[in-house]
């Protein structure tokens, strides 16, 4: 499973050449998520994968709360089983993003997650 660094993820986001998928329950996504991310609220099915990332040859990056959260790896493996060829995991997740002082989208106005 390929991993991606924060800097490499930012470059892909800036280029608009990535589908960024948060693999946390919907309330966590609604509260705060990385800019441009879509939410994977449940188990990945072929139909849901096509809705989230229509191009199976494009780059898909999954993330969750941080290094101790395994949801991003589970989601990445599911995309791989469905034939997506360039799937990467941002293991630092929200924790690493917040530590770098980078912006989030969502409804949260309180301090960021620290899990």
Q: What phi and psi, each to the nearest 5 degrees, are found at residue 23?
A: -105, 45
- Judged by DSSP in three states, 47 sits in helix
Q: Which of 64, 69, 98, 113 is catalytic?
A: 64
Q: For this structure, is 69 an active site residue?
A: no
Residue 63's H or E segment, with its range, is strand 59-63
**SS3 sequence of 74-102:** HHHHHHHHCCCCEEEEECCHHHHHHHCCC
List, by residue number, the catalytic residues.
Answer: 64
């Amino acid at each position: 499973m390929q991993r991606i660094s924060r800097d490499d993820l930012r470059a892909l986001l800036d280029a608009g050449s990535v589908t960024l998928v948060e693999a946390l329950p919907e309330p966590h996504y609604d509260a705060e998520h990385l800019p441009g991310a879509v939410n994977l609220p449940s188990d990945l099915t072929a139909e849901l994968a096509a809705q989230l990332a229509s191009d199976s040859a494009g780059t898909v990056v999954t993330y969750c709360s941080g290094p101790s959260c395994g949801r991003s790896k589970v989601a990445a493996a599911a995309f791989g089983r469905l034939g997506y060829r360039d799937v990467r995991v941002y293991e630092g997740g929200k924790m690493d993003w917040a530590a770098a002082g980078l912006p989030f989208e969502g409804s949260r106005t309180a301090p960021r997650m620290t899990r």
